[in-house]
């Protein structure tokens, strides 16, 4: 009887933590999206839909990366909203997760720079190109750092994510381009392709992790 009660209590605790994580994520994501769209409407109203969508996808990366970094900086608090067993797990994987946090944030910043770049945005083209290149360099370096610290299981996950992302980009991008070629849709803008790559990689990561059971409440 005690085992059943303990198991039930543990499940309730896990799902409560999962609900809190979703709530915090929704609030942070919603607030950042609202501020970005308000800024676009009030100041950068020339961005258009491509710029707005790119900016929103970039915010997902930035908020996710910062949340992970915040959790690493304060493990006891991070264990309350990150999907880990306890704060000790965060401490044990500090180096790997720090690289992941920095890389995710850098990827988001790169896309945000592209979204706000000239001619539609306020960032001059040469500055945007330099900023994008620096952010992507950080992303590549941190990705290599993360890969070196992964075990075989996580390396397999990474390969699955990369393969799924490739097929999804080929499918969605190819279908969109074909529709445009046939005159049935507007052709994707260059920024749309960047946004598609970032968004599809994120979807692939969530899809593979969900399929492997890595998103179950812990």
Q: Judge if pTM exceeds 0.85.
A: yes
**What sign results for the dihedral spanned by CA atoms 51, 158, 18, 200?**
positive
CA–CA separation, 109 and 134 (whole Å): 10
Instruction: Work out the average pLDDT over 6-25.
Output: 68
Q: What's the pLDDT tens digit per position in 106-130?
A: 999 999 999 999 888 889 999 999 9
């Amino acid at each position: 009887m005690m085992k059943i009660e303990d198991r039930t209590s543990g499940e309730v605790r896990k799902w409560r933590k999962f609900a809190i994580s979703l709530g915090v994520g929704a609030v942070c994501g919603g607030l950042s999206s609202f501020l970005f769209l308000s800024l676009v409407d009030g100041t950068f109203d020339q961005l258009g839909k491509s710029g707005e969508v790119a900016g929103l996808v970039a915010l997902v990366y930035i908020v996710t990366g910062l949340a992970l970094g915040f959790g690493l900086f304060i493990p006891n608090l991070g264990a309350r909203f990150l999907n880990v067993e306890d704060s000790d797990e965060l401490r044990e994987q500090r180096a790997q997760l720090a690289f992941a946090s920095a890389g995710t944030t850098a990827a988001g910043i790169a896309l945000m720079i592209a979204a706000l770049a000239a001619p539609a945005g306020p960032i001059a083209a040469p500055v945007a190109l330099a900023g994008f290149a620096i952010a992507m360099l950080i992303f590549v370096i941190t990705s290599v750092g993360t890969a070196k610290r992964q075990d075989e299981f996580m390396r397999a996950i990474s390969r699955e994510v990369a393969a799924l992302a490739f097929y999804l980009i080929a499918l969605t991008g190819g279908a969109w381009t074909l529709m445009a070629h046939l005159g049935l849709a507007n052709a994707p803008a260059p920024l749309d392709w960047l946004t598609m790559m970032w968004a599809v990689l994120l979807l692939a990561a969530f899809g593979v992790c969900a399929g492997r059971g890595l998103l179950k409440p812990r």
